[in-house]
Amino acid sequence: MGKPGLLDLENHFAFYGENHILDKKAGSLAALLCLACWVGASFITAKLGYSLAWKVNFCSFVVKYQP
């Protein structure tokens, strides 16, 4: 079935399908939280304006990824 490795998608998907249980309630909650965060971020961005929003985003990125 091909060489084992990074691009062996059949084995990767079989592994994740066997070892992860898909819970509908947890998935719905995750989707709701993602939607709420997206809507909240859209409101904050609209309130700040583009010129300030990208600066806030850049600063949060720099602070988050500092060693």
Averages of pLDDT over each 10 residues, the chain, 67 residues: 63 60 80 95 89 90 86
Please give the Cα distance from 3 to 15 (Å, whole number).
16
Instruction: Say what the pLDDT of residue 45 is.
Output: 86
Instruction: Say what the pLDDT of residue 57 is.
Output: 87
Sign of CA dihedral 25, 29, 31, 35: positive
Contacts of 57 (CB under 8 A, 6+ apart): none
CA distances from 15 to 2, 3, 8, 63 (A): 16, 16, 11, 36
Instruction: Say what the pLDDT of residue 63 is.
Output: 92
Q: Domain residues of the chain, as ranges?
A: 23-64
Residue recorded with tokens 């939607």: 35
Instruction: Say what the pLDDT of residue 62 is.
Output: 93
